[in-house]
Chain A
Amino acid sequence: MRGDRMSFRTGPYVDMPLMLAAVGIVTLGLVNLYSATSVYVESTQNSRLADNYVSQIYWVVVGALLAILAAAIDYRHYERLSTFLFVGGMISLGLVFILGNDIRGSSRWINLGGFAFQPSEFMKIVVILMVARFVHNDPKTEPRTLIDLAPPLLATAAPCAAVMAQPDLGTAIIYALICISILAMNRVRRGSILVVVLAASAALPLAWYYVLRDYQKARITSFLHPEADKTGTGWHALQSQTAIGNGQIWGEGFMQGTQNQFGLLPDQFSDFPFAVFAEDWGFLGGVVLIALYAFLSIWAVHIASQAKDRFGAAVAIGVGAMVFWHAICNIGMATGVLPVVGITLPLFSYGGSSIVTMMIGLGLLMNVSMRR
């Protein structure tokens, strides 16, 4: 590790551990995507699906360029920009309902020319910036009350409500978790925490009856009682667990996982890529991948601890939280310890918006790391 910053003459300082971890996950993700999509290449000759991993490479390139851009501009500029980004993000979330095209019963995408993008993904970055901005500008040092925390909470609740309406429970949960994670850095009054906990537990039954859609309820009930759900999501989760277990210690080998190759895994390149990976590469591969995510999350905390201001630290924590919660939720879902929610595995799952968002986030992280 370098003790001092490099001058511009010797080139910009690059946080190599962060870089390597990210490159490692992306590489594994591409390799795994090849295995996951090969099922369709061979059996259906469906070139659109067969080209998945090629288009994923394009997205990785696009994401890398945007990440470099995000890293190049001093992150302190983003603090001021965040309000505009927030307004823009909310408008595009609103546009989804007008322009969006339905995929599996929820409208999440906006078609722009040849490609579709998901505003809710990019909104994750905006939420990070908004909450970080609040933390940065908060002059208080004594424990905060709920009223003190109202601005960031409202700034998170607004996109949450918008994506819940799509409906997209997973993204709303991620927004909330990001917000909570950043705010957890601040001292908050015990009484306020108690109020929030009580309010949340009171809101749960209400949410169950008035907010959650039937399929979302079904996922939760099937998680709690897998035997009650005969065909739907419970079945998917069980197939995923079977695939992972089938990997055993050493794995079935690259493109040899039978659950994947015989088409028993649902959504194997977006929601369940971990199952494909763990089946092919076994416990060893799984541990390596989990270790990379753990390293990335901890490294983000490390970067935050070295940041020179609260905004930088909060952004680093926010990006780290985004990676962390995505990884936990997705792997937890694939291994059956959490209910099935459509949360992607960061840098790993197929999906342009998702991977570009993650890479922009890592660009911000790099930004903070470069300017400490």
Chain B
Amino acid sequence: MSFLVQRSDVGEFRRRYRWLVLFVLVAFSVLIGRLAELQIIEGDMHRAQARRNIVRERYLATTRGVIRDAYGRVLAANRPAYTVYITPGRVDLESTWPRLCRLLGLDESEKARFETRIKEAQAAVLAQKATKERDKERDRRAEQQVVLKYDADRDAVAWLETHNPVGVDVSPTPVRYYPYGELGAHLVGYMREVDADALSRLEDRGYRAGDRIGAVGIERRWESYLRGQRGMRKMLVGQRGKLNRDSADELEARYLEEPRRIEPIPGRDVSLTIDIDLLASVEKALRGQAAGAVVVVDVRTGRILAALSKPSFDPNVVSGGGGIAAAADAFRRLNVDPLKPTLDKTISAAYPPGSTYKPFSALAGLADGLVDPAAEVDCRGGYEYGKRFFRCEGIHRHVNLHSAIVQSCNTYFYDLGARVSIDRLAATGLDYGFGIKTGIGVNPEARGRMPTRAWYTRRYKEAFRGGFTLLSVIGQGATTVTVLQLALAYAALANGGTLYQPQLVRSIETSDGTVVQEFPPRVRRMVGVDAEHLEIVKRGLEGVVAEKQGTAHKEALPGVDMAGKTGTAQVTHVTSRGVDPDRVWYFNRAHALFAAFAPSKSPEIAIVVLIEHGGGGGKNAVPVAMRVTRDWQKLKETRLSARSNPGDTSRSNL
């Protein structure tokens, strides 16, 4: 080794070694410190993230309860449709997304909307990891599934099931189905997607973006019963590697936090008091009329047997059964329709009752002793009061209370109006449930109005005038009622003064048919009415149909026994402003009304027919009520004979 010359000494290096060792130690200590931070201090957070990376939560859909009529016929049920969900934080924007859009046929706006959402979610996931804060709220949002498409077609579903791309889930969701379509749509209601507002309120109750919620009617009011509770199942994603050797059960036991599975709870079924056959006959009787409302109630229970508002809408379409675009389109059309198809005219709209209110005015007069049933008033076509002349529909000459009701003589009632106080009239009206919400529970309820002296004083700055009372007596002026109120009040007349709470839901059942809750009829109040007075009025009502001079007599059907009162309610004159000029004549026509009960002796049902702008009540509203009552009689007979027949399979609740 002599050829290797040792030339330089290493002395210069000596002093540096210590510093090098120190540098090495410090550098590795920093790494160990960082390791401790990641694994010990933040260990739980990272473990949670690692678990989230391999665990997916899948919703298990629940079944919404079924809505049935009084005889077990299904009014709202479910049919299967495949809903495609995405987890925005996970979807692969490059490979999966374009294919998905094509398969599901998303339009550009939908596509763009979801794309921003996906990007936001993925940015949020990264932001959260960057800040190292475990924000549970944000975690949950990033992992939250959103609905991409309802009712996806079978080809798309098949592709998704075979390829199972990350962040996309398909679940068969029951879609709401209304077999009777427009029939009873206002009462039964429809479904809509829960909006952001409602979502923020309802998130604690398990609602997620894209969920459907009952929009109106029973679907809305009984949402909490019908909805049920969705289940959840956790599963491992893309199982790979060595862990594949272990059985799936073992792996799930190791990595999935309890609870691993929550079974869905199906919603409760709701049985209504409605008789869909009767409702169908109402619909049939109303054909040829543009708009109107009919309510049939059982006078012995206050149960609503039929309630129909015309025109109606198809809940299948507005619920999105035919796609979201179709539903939006339907709403656009419904909202501009001057006949207001979405308005429930039986509950949510108040109309002047016209002459159908006269029985209550008569009862007010009788109670105060202002009316002598035998006393006659000479009708010469009107009544002079103050400086005004109040017109009658005809020249009835000498009428007493009975014939005034039968012939619907205004003059007789003007005379009463000149003597009775308006506050007394209003008080009687309130007794019969006018001017107060009935508390039916579904749909926004109109209150109607029983004007008082105070109300007029508030409304018109000048002094109260007696003429207002004259108008109130005949159900005009400021007096308004809802069709439902009128039906319940006539039911009270028919049953001798019991005002019932209107009842629409008969019972709540579990999905296997066990009755959970039954709702008995509820009396709202007993109207303090003299039986004798009531009898006088009822005889008058019978005369309306039965007597030759009666306003409903001409339209009476043979074999139909009913008693009632016609009404022709003048409407506020509208000008062509805001209305199609060709249709102004229609909107200026009077409302045709008929309020009745049947049979005339020991009555069972009360029926109110309102034809919006239908003209004269006797001519237009009576035939509808007659036909409905005839059909009701027929149905009753069929059911009676069926019940005595042991082969009957219908779901009668009696």
Q: Which residues of A are in contact with B by a Cβ distance under 8 Å?
A: 35, 38-39, 41-43, 74, 76-77, 136-139, 141, 184-187, 225-227, 229-231, 234-235, 238-239, 241-249, 255-256, 258-264, 278, 282-283, 286-287, 290-291, 293-294, 297-298, 301, 304-305, 307-311, 313, 317, 324, 327-328, 331-332, 335-337
Contacts of B210-251 to chain A: CB distance below 8 A: 236-245
Write out the residue numbers on chain A whose beta carbons fall within 8 Å of the beta carbon of B129. Answer: 226-227, 238, 241-242
Nearest CB in chain A: distance from B98 CB, A? 16
Write out the residue numbers on chain B whose beta carbons fall within 8 Å of the beta carbon of A293. Answer: 28
Q: Is B49 an interface residue (CB 8 A)?
A: yes
Write out the residue numbers on chain B whose beta carbons fall within 8 Å of the beta carbon of A238. Answer: 126, 129-130
A246-B47, A317-B20 given as contacts; is B39 within 8 A of A256 (CB)?
no
Write out the residue numbers on chain A whose beta carbons fall within 8 Å of the beta carbon of B14. Answer: 305
Write out the residue numbers on chain A whose beta carbons fall within 8 Å of the beta carbon of B44. Answer: 248
Nearest CB in chain A: distance from B630 CB, A? 71
B32 near A287 (CB under 8 angstroms)? yes
B46 near A242 (CB under 8 angstroms)? yes
Write out the residue numbers on chain A whose beta carbons fall within 8 Å of the beta carbon of B30. Answer: 337
The residue in chain B whose Cβ has the minimal distance to the Cβ of A181 is B20
A301-B24, A309-B6, A310-B10 given as contacts; is B39 within 8 A of A258 (CB)?
no
A244 near B10 (CB under 8 angstroms)? no
Interface string of B19-41 (1 = CB under 8 A from A): 01100110110111011101110
Q: Complex: how many Å from CA A174 to CA B239?
A: 38
B21 near A298 (CB under 8 angstroms)? yes
Residue in A184, A226, A245 whose beta carbon sits within 8 Å of that of B16 in the complex? A184
Residue in B27, B46, B54 whose beta carbon sits within 8 Å of that of A328 in the complex? B27
A230-B123, A248-B40 given as contacts; is B31 within 8 A of A290 (CB)?
yes
B242 near A38 (CB under 8 angstroms)? yes
Nearest CB in chain B: distance from A306 CB, A? 9
B35 near A287 (CB under 8 angstroms)? yes
Write out the residue numbers on chain A whose beta carbons fall within 8 Å of the beta carbon of B255. Answer: 258
The total of chain B residues at the interface (CB under 8 A) is 57
Q: Complex: how many Å from CA A230 to CA B91?
A: 13
Q: Is B202 an interface residue (CB 8 A)?
A: no
A245 near B45 (CB under 8 angstroms)? yes
Contacts of B459-510 to chain A: CB distance below 8 A: none
A242 near B35 (CB under 8 angstroms)? no
Q: Is B637 an interface residue (CB 8 A)?
A: no
Q: Is B519 an interface residue (CB 8 A)?
A: no
A260 near B241 (CB under 8 angstroms)? yes
A-B contact pairs, 12 of them (CB 8 A): A74-B4, A184-B16, A226-B129, A227-B129, A241-B38, A243-B50, A255-B242, A263-B241, A283-B35, A283-B39, A290-B35, A307-B10
Nearest CB in chain A: distance from B373 CB, A? 87
Write out the residue numbers on chain A whose beta carbons fall within 8 Å of the beta carbon of B50. Answer: 242-243, 245-246, 258-259
Write out the residue numbers on chain A whose beta carbons fall within 8 Å of the beta carbon of B49. Answer: 242, 245-246
Residue of B12, B13, B39, B130 with highest tally of chain A CB at under 10 A: B39
A262 near B241 (CB under 8 angstroms)? yes
Q: Complex: how many Å from CA A237 to CA B122?
A: 16
Summed over the interface, the residue pairs from A and B with CB atoms below 8 Å come to a total of 198
A185 near B12 (CB under 8 angstroms)? yes
Q: Complex: how many Å from CA A264 to CA B239?
A: 11
A43-B240, A297-B24, A324-B24 given as contacts; is B38 within 8 A of A245 (CB)?
yes
B240 near A261 (CB under 8 angstroms)? yes
The residue in chain A whose Cβ has the minimal distance to the Cβ of B19 is A184
Q: Complex: how many Å from CA A331 to CA B34?
A: 10
A186-B12, A226-B130, A301-B21 given as contacts; is B38 within 8 A of A244 (CB)?
yes
A262 near B53 (CB under 8 angstroms)? yes
B36 near A258 (CB under 8 angstroms)? no
A136-B8, A238-B126, A310-B10 given as contacts; is B27 within 8 A of A262 (CB)?
no
Q: Complex: how many Å from CA A39 to CA B243?
A: 9
Q: Which residues of B are in contact with A by a Cβ distance under 8 Å?
A: 1, 4, 6-10, 12-14, 16-17, 20-21, 24-25, 27-28, 30-32, 34-36, 38-40, 42-47, 49-51, 53-54, 119, 122-123, 126-127, 129-131, 236-245, 255
Write out the residue numbers on chain B whose beta carbons fall within 8 Å of the beta carbon of A310. Answer: 7-10, 12-13
A249-B39, A283-B40, A294-B25 given as contacts; is B245 within 8 A of A258 (CB)?
no
Write out the residue numbers on chain A whose beta carbons fall within 8 Å of the beta carbon of B42. Answer: 245
Nearest CB in chain B: distance from A234 CB, A? 7
B47 near A262 (CB under 8 angstroms)? no
Write out the residue numbers on chain A whose beta carbons fall within 8 Å of the beta carbon of B39. Answer: 244-245, 247-249, 278, 282-283, 286
Nearest CB in chain B: distance from A345 CB, A? 12
Q: Complex: how many Å from CA A43 to CA B242?
A: 8
Nearest CB in chain A: distance from B46 CB, A? 2
Nearest CB in chain B: distance from A310 CB, A? 4
A283-B40, A294-B25, A337-B31 given as contacts; is B10 within 8 A of A39 (CB)?
no
The residue in chain B whose Cβ has the minimal distance to the Cβ of A287 is B32
Nearest CB in chain A: distance from B59 CB, A? 22
Nearest CB in chain B: distance from A311 CB, A? 8
B34 near A335 (CB under 8 angstroms)? yes
Nearest CB in chain B: distance from A280 CB, A? 11
The residue in chain A whose Cβ has the minimal distance to the Cβ of B43 is A248
Residue of A235, A255, A260, A305 with highest tally of chain B CB at under 10 A: A305
Write out the residue numbers on chain A whose beta carbons fall within 8 Å of the beta carbon of B122. Answer: 230-231
Write out the residue numbers on chain A whose beta carbons fall within 8 Å of the beta carbon of B242. Answer: 35, 38-39, 41-42, 255-256, 261
A290 near B32 (CB under 8 angstroms)? yes
Q: Complex: how many Å from CA A370 to CA B119?
A: 60
Write out the residue numbers on chain B whose beta carbons fall within 8 Å of the beta carbon of A255. Answer: 241-243
Q: Complex: how many Å from CA A241 to CA B47?
A: 11
Write out the residue numbers on chain A whose beta carbons fall within 8 Å of the beta carbon of B25. Answer: 294, 298
Write out the residue numbers on chain A whose beta carbons fall within 8 Å of the beta carbon of B17. Answer: 301, 304-305
A324 near B27 (CB under 8 angstroms)? yes
A42-B241, A74-B1, A230-B123 given as contacts; is B53 within 8 A of A259 (CB)?
yes
A39 near B20 (CB under 8 angstroms)? no
B244 near A335 (CB under 8 angstroms)? no
Write out the residue numbers on chain A whose beta carbons fall within 8 Å of the beta carbon of B243. Answer: 255-256, 258, 261-262
A43-B241, A74-B1, A301-B24 given as contacts; is B35 within 8 A of A258 (CB)?
no
Nearest CB in chain A: distance from B447 CB, A? 55
B241 near A241 (CB under 8 angstroms)? no
Write out the residue numbers on chain B whose beta carbons fall within 8 Å of the beta carbon of A187. Answer: 12
A332 near B53 (CB under 8 angstroms)? no
Residue of B6, B9, B240 with highest tally of chain A CB at under 10 A: B240
Q: Complex: how many Å from CA A305 to CA B12?
A: 11
A238-B126, A247-B39 given as contacts; is B24 within 8 A of A294 (CB)?
yes
The residue in chain B whose Cβ has the minimal distance to the Cβ of A332 is B31
A249 near B126 (CB under 8 angstroms)? no
Residue of B1, B38, B238, B239 with highest tally of chain A CB at under 10 A: B38
Q: Complex: how many Å from CA A264 to CA B49?
A: 12
Q: Complex: how many Å from CA A305 to CA B9?
A: 11
Q: Complex: how many Å from CA A274 to CA B31?
A: 12
Write out the residue numbers on chain B whose beta carbons fall within 8 Å of the beta carbon of A304. Answer: 13, 17
Nearest CB in chain B: distance from A185 CB, A? 5
Nearest CB in chain A: distance from B244 CB, A? 5
Residue in B6, B130, B240 whose beta carbon sits within 8 Å of that of A42 in the complex? B240
Q: A245-B46, A258-B53, A282-B39 are in contact. List 12 more A-B contacts (CB 8 A).
A: A39-B241, A43-B240, A239-B53, A244-B38, A245-B47, A246-B43, A246-B50, A249-B43, A262-B238, A287-B35, A304-B17, A332-B34
A42-B242, A230-B122, A242-B53 given as contacts; is B46 within 8 A of A141 (CB)?
no
A335 near B54 (CB under 8 angstroms)? no
A264 near B53 (CB under 8 angstroms)? yes
A286 near B35 (CB under 8 angstroms)? yes
A294 near B28 (CB under 8 angstroms)? yes
A260-B241, A262-B54, A294-B25 given as contacts; is B126 within 8 A of A335 (CB)?
no
Nearest CB in chain B: distance from A11 CB, A? 18
Nearest CB in chain A: distance from B297 CB, A? 63
Nearest CB in chain A: distance from B134 CB, A? 12
A264-B53, A310-B9 given as contacts; is B35 within 8 A of A227 (CB)?
no
